[in-house]
Structure 1
Amino acid sequence: MHQTRIIFMGTPEFAVSSLQILVENQSFGDPTLGDPIEVVAVITAPDKPKGRGRKIAYSPVKQYALTQDIPVLQPTNLKNPDFLEELKSYEADLQVVVAFRMLPEVVWNMPTQGTFNLHASYLPQYRGAAPINWAIINGETETGVTTFMIRHEIDTGNILFQDKEPIYADDTAGTLYERLMKKGAKLVLRTVKAISQNNYALTPQEDISDLKPAPKIHRETCKIDWNQSAEQIRNFVRGLSPYPAAWTELTLAGGEKKNCKVFLLNHTDLAETDQAPGDFATDNKSYLHMRAQDGWLAIEELQLEGKRRMMIDEFLRGTAL
């Protein structure tokens, strides 16, 4: 019975579920569970200062790996000869990548069975760094998870397995993230078992003309454009909630302008007026309505800069507009 030696590469919370399911299914000594697998090492991002105290913080993947006594490698340069020698010493059959950085060929081509990646979209759509956010921003009703073999061009390798997931009308990036994290972990385990048993087929990604990208999201990307339709803005806010969060500029009662993160808003039936997109209406007690291009939206949860996150009634009790 052959043991599949695995090196796992990942950094954020999203990757922990996939690592955990592999660790929990290391099937030594139980032939009914199929060929045994073993996670022999983890590669994750270097430790970095975090928060106001700037204390050194471990990545979520490192935190979990340490609880399981799995060796952790944290290279700053993936082409460093010393790192490559150490990586080679683990004699991995397979490398599994979940939410990690781009790998050089010398790394992904090292294991005998190759290197596969889990991506949080139904490829070929939403290649890139932020597939969950962009699927919601664009108003999609369905997405998924995909495992594929890594090659040079990012997120373009031959597909191993896929699983679809609906996007509900009240989903945020946060709620969809949780479901795809769990669904993705199951797909990773299925993929590892299939590869260890040499029971899989590779499918080239379809050549689709209207591919939708999922580029990295920056702060300037997150500013709300009130000239868009109410539905576009609602999807935009959902797709960026809770992180990094859409934002707008609010003018307070004294004329001071402050930036404000918006986590939740919904359509509202406010009588038509001649107000322009970006104008607001409020009773300074229970509601704050913002004018979009074709109607009004009620902000329900927000965070003024320098303040904590609040529901709208609590916010209005302490802030005059």
Structure 2
Amino acid sequence: MLKVLFAGTPDVAVPALRQLAGDTEHFEVVAALTRPDAPKGRGRKLEPSPVKRAALELGIPVLESDPKEPTFVSELKASGAEAGAVVAYGNILRQNVLEALPMGWYNLHFSLLPQWRGAAPVQRAIWSGDTVTGATVFRLTRGMDTGPILAQSTCEIGAHETSGDVLAKLADDGSRLLAATLTAMASGEIVPQEQPQGAYEVASKIGHDDAHVRFDVPVFAADRQIRACTPEPGAWCTMHPQGGVAKADGTDDGEAFHILKARPADAADPQTPKDLKPGALAVSKKHVWVGTATTPIELETVKAQGKKAMRAADWARGARLGDGAFAD
């Protein structure tokens, strides 16, 4: 039985923790390493990470120590762990930490390495128009996602899937891949393969400003951006329901507006407006379209500032859109 220290933080890491903890024939999860409780919501109340909540539910000891602290290596050795399993932990592990466990550290990464090394591999794959992605288990080394590969699995990216949709599939499939790979590694059945050399796209983190949707681009580009940024950090634009009418304070009527679901409009549908300028809105009883540099994109689910998520057509009826309403 392999004694494993699990390191992870967000929801996407929880399936792998549960998979390892449930396979008591092959694994003993001796501890779960996660980021400290963080402030969440309007009240900024400290909340535990999803991995911490799952570990406590499973009766697994939780470590929230900073890996940079001088005492961290001693904590690792005291845990009795032989190997580390990492899924979206969110901290860089230094060389002395990587060397502290006798069988090393193994990371489940959500791309087909060496493509899309970095923090946001699924989001960047969707934004770039990839139709296939996958999961990779590799041994952690000092470089960013550059260690030798033990196993990979592939996954299709559906035409209308968001990054949240794809990550959910990969988290589930990847949990089984990680468990099978660690089992084979422990028994010597896998020989890690060095990653090929070359120039590959890096999956840099996507921030709030990156998620500001552009409509002066072809519809496929706007669609990819929205899907890549959903649910995190959340695709958004500024909505001007009265066409940018000036207020008494000198500002216009624009307000932040989140797009939760959208898709390219059917150009063959006679209802789809023609020659809609980028950012311009068109509304029917059941549809809300926004113009792009090519054909319109149809908004399906939205969230206006201070409102709950709702169907775009329902929002449009309540918003009392004026002539010249637009989004930018």
Q: Same fold (TM over 0.5)?
A: yes
Cα distance, 1:219 vs. partner? 0.6
Kindly indicate whether the alpha-carbon contact (under 8 Å) linking 2:30 and 2:80 is maintained by their aligned counterparts in 1: no
2:53 alignment partner AA: Q
Kindly indicate whether the alpha-carbon contact (under 8 Å) linking 1:240 and 1:246 is maintained by their aligned counterparts in 2: yes
Kindly indicate whether the alpha-carbon contact (under 8 Å) linking 2:76 and 2:101 is maintained by their aligned counterparts in 1: no
Q: Which residue number in structure 2 is paired with residue 264 of structure 1? A: 261
What are the superposed Cα offsets for residues 122-168 of structure 1, whole Å, 9 maximum, x if unpaired?
Answer: 11111111111111111111000000011111111110100000111
- Would you say 1:8 and 2:10 are equivalent positions? no
Separation (CA, whole Å) in 2 of partners of 1:246 and 1:48:
23
- Would you say 1:226 and 2:215 are equivalent positions? yes
Cα distance, 1:107 vs. partner? 1.0
Separation (CA, whole Å) in 1 of partners of 2:120 and 2:188:
31
Cα distance, 1:83 vs. partner? 2.5
What are the superposed Cα offsets for residues 150-202 of structure 1, whole Å, 9 maximum, x if unpaired?
Answer: 11111111101000001111211121111001011011101110121121111
Q: Which residue number in structure 2 is paired with residue 200 of structure 1? A: 190
Residue range with higher mean Cα deviation, 252-261 or 157-166: 252-261
Separation (CA, whole Å) in 2 of partners of 1:85 and 1:205:
31
What are the superposed Cα offsets for residues 37-71 of structure 1, whole Å, 9 maximum, x if unpaired?
Answer: 21111111111222223332111111111122211
1:278 alignment partner AA: G
Kindly indicate whether the alpha-carbon contact (under 8 Å) linking 2:164 and 2:230 is maintained by their aligned counterparts in 1: yes
Structure 1 unaligned spans of 5+: 28-35
2:131 alignment partner AA: T
3-state SS in 1 of match to 2:67 = coil
What are the superposed Cα offsets for residues 236-280 of structure 1, whole Å, 9 maximum, x if unpaired?
Answer: 11111222221111112272111211122222233433x532222
3-state SS in 1 of match to 2:209 = helix
Residue range with higher mean Cα deviation, 179-188 or 99-108: 99-108
Q: Which residue number in structure 2 is paired with residue 139 of structure 1? A: 129
Q: Which residue number in structure 1 is paired with residue 282 of structure 2? A: 281
What are the superposed Cα offsets for residues 98-120 of structure 1, whole Å, 9 maximum, x if unpaired?
Answer: 10121111111211111110001
Which residues in structure 2 correspond to 1:150-229 (within 5 Å)? 150-209=140-199, 211-229=200-218
Residue range with higher mean Cα deviation, 47-56 or 233-242: 47-56
Separation (CA, whole Å) in 2 of partners of 1:90 and 1:106:
16
Separation (CA, whole Å) in 1 of partners of 2:148 and 2:168:
26
Kindly indicate whether the alpha-carbon contact (under 8 Å) linking 2:283 and 2:316 is maintained by their aligned counterparts in 1: no
Q: Which residue number in structure 1 is paired with residue 315 of structure 2? A: 315
Kindly indicate whether the alpha-carbon contact (under 8 Å) linking 1:134 and 1:239 is maintained by their aligned counterparts in 2: yes
Cα distance, 1:206 vs. partner? 2.0
Q: Which residue number in structure 2 is paired with residue 118 of structure 1? A: 108
Kindly indicate whether the alpha-carbon contact (under 8 Å) linking 1:121 and 1:132 is maintained by their aligned counterparts in 2: yes
Separation (CA, whole Å) in 2 of partners of 1:88 and 1:41:
11
Cα distance, 1:314 vs. partner? 1.3
Separation (CA, whole Å) in 2 of partners of 1:300 and 1:37:
45
Kindly indicate whether the alpha-carbon contact (under 8 Å) linking 1:113 and 1:195 is maintained by their aligned counterparts in 2: no
3-state SS in 1 of match to 2:303 = strand
Kindly indicate whether the alpha-carbon contact (under 8 Å) linking 1:286 and 1:316 is maintained by their aligned counterparts in 2: no
- Would you say 1:94 and 2:92 are equivalent positions? no
Structure 2 unaligned spans of 5+: 246-252, 322-328
Cα RMSD between the aligned structures? 1.5
Cα 1:197/1:297, change in 2 over 3 Å: same
Kindly indicate whether the alpha-carbon contact (under 8 Å) linking 1:79 and 1:106 is maintained by their aligned counterparts in 2: no
3-state SS in 2 of match to 1:116 = strand
Q: Which residue number in structure 2 is paired with residue 30 of structure 1? A: none
Cα distance, 1:288 vs. partner? 2.0
2:316 alignment partner AA: L
Q: Which residue number in structure 2 is paired with residue 238 of structure 1? A: 227
Separation (CA, whole Å) in 1 of partners of 2:220 and 2:314:
26
2:203 alignment partner AA: A
- Would you say 1:67 and 2:60 are equivalent positions? no
Kindly indicate whether the alpha-carbon contact (under 8 Å) linking 1:12 and 1:61 is maintained by their aligned counterparts in 2: yes
Q: Which residue number in structure 1 is paired with residue 41 of structure 2? A: 51
Kindly indicate whether the alpha-carbon contact (under 8 Å) linking 2:6 and 2:33 is maintained by their aligned counterparts in 1: yes
3-state SS in 1 of match to 2:202 = coil
- TM-score, scaled relative to structure 2: 0.89
1:90 alignment partner AA: S
Kindly indicate whether the alpha-carbon contact (under 8 Å) linking 1:172 and 1:239 is maintained by their aligned counterparts in 2: yes
2:309 alignment partner AA: R
1:5 alignment partner AA: K
Cα distance, 1:317 vs. partner? 2.1
Q: Which residue number in structure 2 is paired with residue 31 of structure 1? A: none
3-state SS in 1 of match to 2:138 = strand
